[in-house]
Amino acid sequence: MGAAHDLLAARCPSWAVLNVVGARWVPTVLNALDAGPMRFTELKKVVEGVTAKALTETLRALEYDGIVDRVETPSVTPPRVEYSLTPLGRSLFEVLTPVREWAEQHVGDIAEARRRYQLNAQAETV
């Protein structure tokens, strides 16, 4: 277990980790890779709405941080590249799973809160 950090401190090293975990496509990519290794084109199909650029940047960041493993098979033409979760990535996925489940359970509550907020904002401008 790593050293304790003060997340509220401006220079806390935990921020760098949280920036990766909280990036837009990370939870979705991790969720897709939970099924097993996938090629880039497979991931792009599964992760609906992600651009090739955003997926490339996400995979590079996750590989850089040791969360995703990139394996290239150069003996195939063109070279075959697959992405998979590392043990560290799997441990992150396990932590994010309850967050995903919470989101799925409360999506209606959030939609209702947004609707009420918009109604109140409109009433205040009248």
pLDDT at 68 over 60: yes
pLDDT (0 to 100) of residue 76: 77
DSSP class of residue 51 equals -
pLDDT (0 to 100) of residue 3: 62
Averaged confidence pLDDT in the chain: 91
Residue 18: pLDDT band with limits 50, 70, 90: confident
**pLDDT, mean of residues 39-68:** 96
Longest distance between any two alpha carbons in the chain, whole Å? 68
Contacts of 25 (CB under 8 A, 6+ apart): 47, 50, 54, 55, 58
pTM above 0.85, yes or no: no
Give the strands of the sheet with 38-39, arranged side by side: 38-39, 80-85, 68-73
pLDDT (0 to 100) of residue 2: 54
Which pLDDT tens digit goes with each residue over 82-121?
A: 999 999 999 999 999 999 999 999 999 999 999 999 999 9
Q: Minimal CA–CA distance to 58: which of 75, 88, 33, 36?
A: 33
